[in-house]
């Protein structure tokens, strides 16, 4: 650990994505290296195995687009499952919806939860003490395989990149289990990487979800600290692309508290499919 101020970088495919700051905690779990930093521009942040995950003054660029199209689009939202999401940001955004009665969150790495609760408490905010949250420190892949069919209204995958503990969160077997867990009218959501920095993972994810669910659409936005800054989330449903039409009452309840997401932003972000990606998806 180097506590002196300097540059902290994620290095990916010949490019460095860096923030000026200092490392304030670094340790290894059985799964990965967990690093907490204090940056000048975005406040405290989290890296896993040297890859940017989140930061206090940037996390809403990521968590709002992942959560609200699903929570505003599903027919019902009583029971929600989040796989990953150990920093708490996804749980916090889900629990802003009063219709959520139970949120099961399954995070493989207890050290991520522990360090984020200590150093980045604003990420989870009130979610950590919300009685609707049931946190399990467990393997999300095993969890979905063991869960009852048609038991969730919304399933959200908030994992890291497809390497290390998150590798199994991008394949057919895992997505098939997620599909099995959805109730009729349900919506599935996952972060689906960058259309620029991780183009092939992104394309494969969208294609696979279209094949398995029948309806799947990527939404494009920006998370400036991530490779290329250009990011995507993909939504899927069995009974039509209901994630495209936000419920007005649920929207009214959360939109004023959002920094990025709104029905207008969402409509533009779903429409902003890069031309080359659109052609590749049509092949
Ligand atoms: N390349 C970064 C991908 C990270 C996706 N998950 C971030 C976790 C935020 N809750």
Residues 6+ apart with CB under 8 A from 230: 194, 195, 196, 197, 220, 222
Same domain, 122 and 34: no
**Per residue in 80-103, pLDDT tens?**
999 999 999 999 999 999 999 999
Tell me the CATH number at 24.
2.30.140.10
Decide if 223 is inside a domain. Answer: yes
Same domain, 255 and 154: yes
Considering the entire predicted model, what is its pTM? Answer: 0.97
Q: Which of 88, 115, 160 to mutate to test the pocket of ligand 1 (most atoms within 8 A of CB)?
A: 160
Residue 153 has pLDDT above 90, yes or no: yes
Same domain, 232 and 186: yes
Q: d(Cα 102, Cα 105) in Å, to the nearest integer?
A: 10
Same domain, 72 and 208: yes
In the listed set 55, 70, 93, which residue is the last one of a domain according to the structure?
55
In the listed set 14, 32, 55, which residue is the last one of a domain according to the structure?
55
Decide if 1 is inside a domain. Answer: no
Residue 258 DSSP SS3: coil
**Per residue in 247-258, pLDDT tens?**
999 999 999 999
**Can you give the residue range of the structural domain that contains 88?**
59-282
Say if CB 140 and CB 170 are below 8 A apart: no
Same domain, 78 and 48: no
Decide if 117 is inside a domain. Answer: yes
User: Residue 283: its pLDDT value, please?
Assistant: 86
Q: d(Cα 196, Cα 34) in Å, to the nearest integer?
A: 26
Q: What's the rounded mean pLDDT across residues 116-123?
A: 98
Tell me the CATH number at 173.
3.40.50.150
Q: Are strands 43-48 and 33-39 parallel, antiparallel or unpaired?
A: antiparallel
Q: Which two tokens stand for residue 76?
A: 């019902």
CB distance 88 to ligand 1 below 6 Å? no
Ligand 1, atom 4, lies closest to the CA of 160
Same domain, 194 and 257: yes
Decide if 175 is inside a domain. Answer: yes
Same domain, 107 and 133: yes
Q: How far is the CA of 183 from the centre of ligand 1 (A)?
A: 26
Same domain, 189 and 209: yes
Decide if 237 is inside a domain. Answer: yes
Same domain, 192 and 124: yes
Number of domains in the chain: 2
Decide if 201 is inside a domain. Answer: yes
In the listed set 17, 39, 55, which residue is the last one of a domain according to the structure?
55
CB distance 89 to ligand 1 below 6 Å? yes
Q: Is 138 a catalytic residue?
A: no
Centre a 10 Å sphere on the Cβ of residue 176 and count the other Cβ atoms it contains: 14
Please pick, among 49, 87, 104, 158, the residue that the annotation labels catalytic: 158
Residue 225 has pLDDT above 60, yes or no: yes
**Per residue in 14-38, pLDDT tens?**
999 999 999 999 999 999 999 999 9
DSSP code string of 31-88:
S-EEEEEEETTTEEEEEETTEEEEETTTTHHHHHHHHHHHHHHSS--SEEEEEE-TTS
Same domain, 46 and 73: no
Same domain, 36 and 90: no
Q: How far is the CA of 51 from the centre of ligand 1 (A)?
A: 9
User: Residue 31: its pLDDT value, please?
Assistant: 96
Same domain, 139 and 46: no
């Amino acid at each position: 650990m180097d506590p002196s101020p300097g540059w902290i970088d994620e290095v990916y495919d010949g490019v460095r994505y860096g923030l000026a700051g200092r490392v304030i905690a670094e340790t290894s779990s059985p799964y990965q290296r967990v690093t907490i930093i204090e940056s000048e521009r975005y406040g405290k942040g989290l890296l896993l195995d040297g890859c940017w995950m989140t930061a206090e003054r940037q996390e809403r660029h990521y968590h709002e687009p992942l959560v609200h199209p699903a929570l505003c689009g599903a027919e019902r939202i009583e029971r929600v499952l989040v796989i990953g999401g150990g920093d708490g940001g996804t749980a916090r955004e889900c629990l802003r919806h009063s219709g959520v009665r139970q949120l099961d969150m399954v995070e493989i790495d207890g050290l991520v939860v522990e360090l984020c609760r200590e150093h980045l408490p604003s990420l989870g905010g009130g979610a950590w003490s919300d009685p609707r949250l049931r946190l399990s420190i467990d393997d999300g892949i095993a969890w979905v395989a063991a869960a009852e069919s048609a038991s969730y209204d919304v399933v959200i995958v908030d994992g890291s990149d497809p390497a290390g503990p998150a590798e199994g969160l991008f394949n057919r077997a895992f997505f098939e289990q997620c599909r099995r867990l959805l109730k009729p009218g349900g919506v599935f959501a996952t972060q689906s990487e960058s259309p620029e920095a991780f183009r092939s993972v992104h394309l494969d994810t969208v294609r696979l979800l279209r094949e398995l669910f029948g309806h799947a659409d990527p939404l494009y936005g920006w998370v400036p600290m991530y490779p290329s800054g250009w990011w995507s989330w993909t939504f899927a449903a069995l009974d039509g692309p209901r994630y495209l039409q936000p419920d007005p009452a649920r929207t009214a309840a959360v939109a004023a508290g959002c920094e990025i997401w709104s029905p207008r932003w969402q409509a533009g972000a779903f429409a902003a499919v890069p031309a080359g990606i659109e052609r590749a998806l049509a092949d």
